[in-house]
Structure 1
Amino acid sequence: MTTTYAEGQLNALIRTAVDGIISIDARGIVNLYNPACQGIFGWSEADVLGRNISMLMPARYAEHHDDFIIRYLNTGDARIIGIGREVEGLRKDGSEFPMDLSVGEFEHEGERRFVGIIRDLTERVAAERRLREIQSQLSHMSRVSAVAEMGSSLAHELNQPLTAISLFLTASERALATDPDKARAMFARAEAECQRAGDIVRRIRQMVERGDDERKVIDLVEIIMGAAELCSVAEAGGRSSIDLSGLTDQTVEIYADPTQIRQVMVNLIKNAIDATQNLDMPRIRVRMEVENPKCVTVEVEDNGPGIDPAFRHRLFSPFVTSKEHGLGIGLSICHTIAESHGGSLDLIEDRNETRLPGAIFRLRLPLE
């Protein structure tokens, strides 16, 4: 039979395509399997033609595939046809791999058929995983750097409850024989100081722990309060007033990595403290607002000198800092964290009489 120009052209395209192209009939039997598929799956064309497409799928997909086709033919309920999605394929050696699958439908001699275009995503997924690992390492380095900057103040603050514990225990021992009630009161105060010291250590551990991107449902208010507490503890002299009255009393839950969101809040609050440290009456305010059922915003503002115009256009670029000993990666990483959570971090320029005159940073996060 003579091949038409269009048929020859189509055959050449299928044979030279870098993406895998497979065609099946309504029973799931493969009748087209181009050379790119052999490179992707490891099976030759002779191995696959005439067999069910399920041989190229992990068992959890294969056992239901024929039912999917039957349901679609009977009801028109398309789960993947005309949409495309990322799924897992099965190679000849039994290994699974991520792939992008787009499925179309056509009719040949009155029979319904399906064609799929497959792109191997193994390298892309590996590159994304490596990028996440690098971002995680930078994020951890930034947290360690922030705690290191607060190190002397944290050590001083931790030493206070430890000293108090020693004094209370000594006083308790002296009073134990002559005044048991006083001794019990001293023991209670020592216990409270132990709790205080433990809280400080716990806040530090939360900041410097390595961790991966472990997302779960968290209370955003609790994260903000904890970040503010750590920054207040670390501040030498405790001069700044952090106004948290703008936080809602209700629980605001988001799906996020608690370590990363805590890092963003510590960075923003710590920057505000640094910006106001030389003022006679330093002020910092944290506000939160649920904008709509899908979004919550947190704003950190201060009455410092604001952001130097020379830095504003590259404020979130890495290694840009106005601090003498800063690494310049804090805001850059915070910006990346916000975006990786489907949100944003911005410097707010608009002003009104209710805002403090310094810098205003707005963190926006999805509630879902």
Structure 2
Amino acid sequence: MYEEEQLKALIETAVDGVLSITPDGCVKLYNRASEAIFGYKAEEVLGQNISMLMPRSIARAHDGYLSAYLSTGEANIIGKGRKVEGQRKSGEVFPMHLSVGEFSAGSERHFVGIVRDLSHEVAEQAKTQGLQEQLELIGRHSAVSEMGAALAHELNQPLTAIDLFLAAADRQLSEDPEKARDIFQRVRDEAARAGNIVRRIREMVERTDGERTHFLLSEVIEGAVDLCRVVDRSGTAITATQVPAAVLFGQPTEIRMILVNLIKNALDATEGQQTRRVLIRSEVTDKVRVEVLDNGPGVSLEIAERLFEPFSSTKDDGLGIGLSICRTIAEGHGGRLINRPKEETEDGLGGACFSLTLPLAEEAGHE
């Protein structure tokens, strides 16, 4: 008797919903926490089919799941826990974690479920994700803003060339149509060049929809290098080794932002040097590793300790959020972003080395 009262007290005071049903889905147990979660009083649920607590799309199939388990013994959720959707009395569909077990009472089989409402947790995650996306967008705007003068200059060059070529074509149109046609082709080439610059800028500053997709490592590296070559006044500082074939899963714009920040920082570190070298190299093993190296002064121990701290910058006009955001993005993709000390590198450049490691698409569970 004591044990029964103790069990009843535990069930009624549990913070999670506790329910039990018969093999035909009839509710036999429904505690106070379940009342708070679903909005139904116990007398409204007991004796009814459990499907009343589910969205219609799930409720239609639930009895079939039970029948299939009873006939085959193959469990989809029995003995496991997973995130599913429930439906409150108000009609609101909400996320919940459901754990299901099985027990016997005499000759009868019963199923017991433990329900945890995830609404608050999911809302907080969405809020955090939204703030992170805003901060990441600020970081991309900051990176493009710092490159603004060089981007404007680079964009002005093809526009000026287009104007000159059109004037030349106009003069040749009646005298030498073939030559005019060649000039028009050069106009198209310059227009494509200007359009490519604008496209790269838009990719950096536009808000993403948060959706992740498969993408090629080579395309992301190529896009970052192309954009950063705009601010490489020497035109020869940036070199990239051949990129191995690799497919990643995530947001390519965010990964490109990491590389743009790293390359731009390397260019800043070598500013004013007679010889400037920035090398981007990559390799694929069980993961992808992309390294950005330079022949600048390197990172001192004092700076290295706070390198990835928010609002810590060695630049007079820097926000100090670039590397912090980049590390957060890398970790959000299941990867790492670190600064490798000089003694750990074998590059011969002698400056800084930043290493970005990311999982391959199949390693992240996306074939």
TM-score bracket for the superposition, by shorter chain length: over 0.9
Tell me if 1:108 matches 2:101.
no
The runs of 4+ residues in structure 1 deviating greater than 4 Å are: none
Deviation at 1:242, TM superposition (A): 1.6
CA distance in 1, matches of 2:247, 2:348: 26
Aligned to 2:364: none
Aligned to 1:247: 243
Deviation at 1:38, TM superposition (A): 1.0
- Asked if 2 retains the 8 angstrom alpha-carbon contact of 1:240 and 1:284, the reply is no
Deviation at 1:240, TM superposition (A): 5.1
Deviation at 1:134, TM superposition (A): 0.5
- What whole-Å deviation, never above 9, does each CA across 1:76-132 have from its counterpart, x for those lacking one? 222112221111101112111000111122211122211111111111111110111
Match of 2:41 among 36, 40, 44: 44
Tell me if 1:203 matches 2:197.
no
User: Kindly tell me: are residues 57 and 146 of structure 1, through their superposed partners in 2, closer, same or farther at Cα, counting changes over 3 Å?
Assistant: same
- Asked if 1 retains the 8 angstrom alpha-carbon contact of 2:241 and 2:282, the reply is no
- Asked if 2 retains the 8 angstrom alpha-carbon contact of 1:136 and 1:212, the reply is no
Tell me if 1:366 matches 2:359.
yes
Match of 1:138 among 135, 149, 153: 135
Q: Which moved more, 1:172-181 or 1:144-153?
A: 172-181
Q: Aligned residue pairs: how many?
A: 360
Aligned to 2:267: 273
Deviation at 1:51, TM superposition (A): 1.1
Q: Secondary structure, in 3 states, of the residue corresponding to 1:65?
A: helix
User: Kindly tell me: are residues 306 and 128 of structure 1, through their superposed partners in 2, closer, same or farther at Cα, counting changes over 3 Å?
Assistant: same
- Asked if 1 retains the 8 angstrom alpha-carbon contact of 2:18 and 2:30, the reply is yes
- Asked if 2 retains the 8 angstrom alpha-carbon contact of 1:231 and 1:266, the reply is yes
**Which runs of no fewer than 5 residues in structure 1 stay unpaired?**
none
Aligned to 1:346: 338
Give the RMSD, CA atoms, in angstroms. Answer: 1.5
CA distance in 1, matches of 2:353, 2:156: 34
Q: What does 1:61-80 align with in structure 2 at a 5 Å threshold?
A: 61-80=58-77
User: Kindly tell me: are residues 265 and 120 of structure 1, through their superposed partners in 2, closer, same or farther at Cα, counting changes over 3 Å?
Assistant: same
Q: What does 1:203-352 align with in structure 2 at a 5 Å threshold?
A: 203-235=200-232, 237-239=233-235, 241-248=237-244, 250=245, 252-292=246-286, 295-349=287-341, 351-352=344-345
Match of 1:157 among 154, 158, 163: 154
User: Kindly tell me: are residues 239 and 195 of structure 1, through their superposed partners in 2, closer, same or farther at Cα, counting changes over 3 Å?
Assistant: closer
Q: Which moved more, 1:105-114 or 1:349-358?
A: 349-358
- Asked if 2 retains the 8 angstrom alpha-carbon contact of 1:84 and 1:102, the reply is yes
Aligned to 2:365: none
- The one-letter amino acid paired with 2:234 is G
CA distance in 2, matches of 1:58, 1:328: 47
CA distance in 1, matches of 2:67, 2:76: 12
Match of 2:169 among 161, 168, 172: 172
Q: Secondary structure, in 3 states, of the residue corresponding to 1:31?
A: strand
Identity %: 53
- What whole-Å deviation, never above 9, does each CA across 1:299-324 have from its counterpart, x for those lacking one? 11112122121122332221111111
- The one-letter amino acid paired with 2:111 is F
- Asked if 2 retains the 8 angstrom alpha-carbon contact of 1:246 and 1:286, the reply is no
CA distance in 1, matches of 2:67, 2:322: 54
CA distance in 2, matches of 1:136, 1:9: 49
CA distance in 1, matches of 2:307, 2:275: 26
**Which runs of no fewer than 5 residues in structure 2 stay unpaired?**
362-367
- Per the normalisation by structure 1, the TM-score is 0.94
Q: Secondary structure, in 3 states, of the residue corresponding to 2:344?
A: coil
- What whole-Å deviation, never above 9, does each CA across 1:266-294 have from its counterpart, x for those lacking one? 111111111112222111111221212xx
Deviation at 1:355, TM superposition (A): 5.0
Deviation at 1:239, TM superposition (A): 5.0
- What whole-Å deviation, never above 9, does each CA across 1:147-191 have from its counterpart, x for those lacking one? 111111111111111111111111111111112122111111111
- Per the normalisation by structure 2, the TM-score is 0.94
Aligned to 2:6: 9
User: Kindly tell me: are residues 337 and 89 of structure 1, through their superposed partners in 2, closer, same or farther at Cα, counting changes over 3 Å?
Assistant: same
CA distance in 2, matches of 1:36, 1:204: 52
CA distance in 1, matches of 2:2, 2:104: 21
Aligned to 2:52: 55
